[in-house]
């Protein structure tokens, strides 16, 4: 297609039009005085008389083809009831017979999980048959072991905490059913999703380390659902210290106590580890040396000093030792 140039000023304009679409000369124009750059570009292209046609230097676009690309190994088809065939990305290969599939939504992301019968049998003996560890789950420290190991992690960064608070305040001011409220809800779900991902990673990592290194893992038999019930009470019998109890419930749920227990039971099936539940009564008040129970021995959240024998230790580690000793009595 030809373009007729009628004046020098028009020549500069037409060259600018072509330079925008020509990658060959685009970088020569950017950065400097536009008019001088264009005049220099005209001299480089060649002497063009006024009124002569100038062939456009716009590259011809390639014709788009509608041929389907070869399917990748990481993408697979799935037939969903009332939705038809959909594509999904394999996160890992499946080893076994698929029994069922569940489609779920988390924020703006959709997931499909498969229930697979892998035919795996639990090993008869653990590689370290004489190893045992007691585990105490806490609020200040997520996991404390009887060997002195302590594992903890913050699942929400300070920036995400501030953003979550700002989004909640913004959500409270928005009208129900509005488009802006839906956008705020999506942003809140993204913050919560990152928090859940970090918690799941921590729980899986901790459970794998405990079950792989120890043939017996003793945990407290905690009723997390009962422990995190609201303390509001009723109109006739109102609860006390409701705000403090609500904060404790959030801390317990944030550490993922029940998720850790489920992860331990899952990994133990493949490692041959034995998971034993021990009654949690008085494990934090009993001395692991002289076995004396005294609430005064718990000096603070992190400090335990026995009033009878004077034994001093981290309170969570002392409780983990009591859990392990209680497990040996049961077994």
For residue range 82-125, list pLDDT tens digits in order. 778 888 888 888 888 888 888 888 877 888 888 888 888 888 88
Whole-number Å distance between alpha carbons of 282 and 251: 21
Q: What is the mean pLDDT of residues 122-136?
A: 89
Do 138 and 231 belong to one domain?
yes
Do 322 and 229 belong to one domain?
yes
Identify the H or E element spanning 46. Answer: none
- State percent of the chain over pLDDT 70: 76
- If one compares 35 and 257, the residue with the highest pLDDT of the two is 257
Phi then psi dihedrals of residue 323, to 5 deg: -65, -45
**Alpha-carbon separation of residue 277 from 150, 200, 245, 325 (angstroms):** 20, 22, 25, 12
Do 84 and 136 belong to one domain?
no
Do 223 and 315 belong to one domain?
yes
Q: What is the mean pLDDT of residues 312-330?
A: 89
Q: Is residue 160 part of a domain?
A: no
- Considering Cα of 172, then 175, then 177, then 178, what sign does the dihedral take? negative
What mean pLDDT, rounded, does the chain reach?
A: 80
Angle between helices 257-271 and 179-213 (to 10 degrees): 40
What does the DSSP assignment read for 160-210?
HHHHHHHHHHHHHHSPTT-HHHHHHHHHHHHHHHHHHHHHHHHHHHHHHHH
Q: Is residue 62 part of a domain?
A: no
DSSP letter for 234, please: -
Do 145 and 27 belong to one domain?
no
Number of Cβ within 10 Å of residue 237's Cβ equals 6
Do 6 and 102 belong to one domain?
no
Q: Are 220 and 278 in contact (CB under 8 A)?
A: yes
Residue 1 has pLDDT above 90, yes or no: no
Beta bridge partners of 89: 75
- If one compares 228 and 3, the residue with the highest pLDDT of the two is 228
Active-site residues, by number, are 136, 220, 316
- What is the model's pLDDT at position 178? 95
Do 82 and 141 belong to one domain?
no
Whole-number Å distance between alpha carbons of 310 and 166: 48
- What is the model's pLDDT at position 163? 96
Do 217 and 322 belong to one domain?
yes
Q: Is residue 202 part of a domain?
A: yes
- What is the model's pLDDT at position 63? 61
Q: Are 18 and 67 in contact (CB under 8 A)?
A: no
- If one compares 29 and 307, the residue with the highest pLDDT of the two is 307
Do 23 and 102 belong to one domain?
no
Q: Is residue 165 part of a domain?
A: no
Whole-number Å distance between alpha carbons of 232 and 244: 11
- What is the model's pLDDT at position 70? 53
Q: Are 142 and 135 in contact (CB under 8 A)?
A: no
pLDDT, tens digit, 9 for 90 and up, residues 49-74: 444 444 444 444 566 665 655 555 68
pTM of the model: 0.70
Q: Is residue 189 part of a domain?
A: no
Residue 250 token pair? 């959030």
Q: Pairing between strand 84-89 and 75-80? A: antiparallel
Residue 17 has pLDDT above 80, yes or no: no
Q: Is residue 82 part of a domain?
A: yes
Nearest to 289 by CA among 311, 257, 315, 256: 311
Range of the domain at 211: 132-153+195-330
From 117, 142, 168, give the residue that closes a domain: 117
Q: Are 151 and 271 in contact (CB under 8 A)?
A: no
Q: Is residue 190 part of a domain?
A: no
Do 203 and 113 belong to one domain?
no
Q: What is the mean pLDDT of residues 3-31?
A: 43
What band does 206 get if pLDDT is binned at 50, 70 and 90?
very high
Do 48 and 20 belong to one domain?
yes
SS3 of residue 269 by DSSP: helix
What is the number of structural domains in the chain? 3
Do 205 and 324 belong to one domain?
yes
- State percent of the chain over pLDDT 90: 44
Q: What is the mean pLDDT of residues 217-225?
A: 90
Q: Is residue 231 part of a domain?
A: yes
Residue 235 has pLDDT above 90, yes or no: no
Which of left, alpha, beta for 15 (phi over 0: left; psi -120 to 50: alpha)? alpha
- What is the model's pLDDT at position 225? 84
């Amino acid at each position: 297609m030809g373009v007729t140039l009628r004046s020098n000023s028009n020549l500069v304009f037409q060259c600018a039009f072509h330079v925008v679409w020509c990658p060959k000369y685009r970088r020569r124009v950017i950065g400097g005085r536009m008019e001088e750059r264009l005049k220099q570009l005209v001299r480089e292209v060649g002497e063009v008389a006024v009124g002569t046609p100038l062939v456009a230097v716009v590259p011809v676009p390639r014709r788009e083809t509608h041929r389907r690309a070869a399917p990748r190994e990481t993408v697979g088809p799935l037939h969903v009831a009332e939705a038809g065939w959909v594509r999904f990305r394999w996160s890992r290969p499946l080893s076994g017979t698929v029994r069922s599939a569940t489609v779920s939504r988390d924020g703006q992301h959709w997931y499909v999980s498969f229930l697979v019968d892998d035919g795996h049998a639990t090993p008869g003996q653990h590689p370290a048959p004489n190893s045992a560890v007691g585990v105490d789950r806490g609020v200040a420290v997520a996991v404390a072991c009887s060997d002195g190991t302590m594992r903890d992690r913050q699942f929400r960064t300070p920036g995400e905490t501030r953003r979550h608070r700002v989004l909640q305040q913004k959500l409270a001011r928005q009208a129900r059913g509005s488009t802006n409220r839906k956008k705020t809800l999506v942003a809140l779900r993204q913050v919560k999703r990152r928090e859940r991902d970090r918690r799941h990673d921590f729980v899986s990592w901790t459970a794998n380390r405990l079950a792989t290194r120890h043939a017996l893992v003793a945990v407290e038999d905690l009723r997390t659902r009962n422990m995190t019930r609201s303390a509001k009470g009723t109109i006739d019998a109102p609860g006390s210290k409701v705000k403090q109890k609500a904060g404790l419930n959030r801390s317990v749920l944030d550490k993922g106590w029940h998720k850790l227990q489920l992860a331990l039971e899952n990994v133990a099936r493949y490692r041959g580890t034995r998971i034993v539940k021990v009654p949690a009564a008085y494990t934090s008040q009993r001395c692991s040396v002289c076995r004396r129970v005294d609430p005064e021995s718990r000096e603070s959240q992190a400090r335990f000093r026995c009033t009878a024998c004077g034994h001093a230790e981290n309170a969570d580690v002392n409780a983990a030792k009591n859990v392990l000793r209680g497990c040996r009595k049961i077994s």
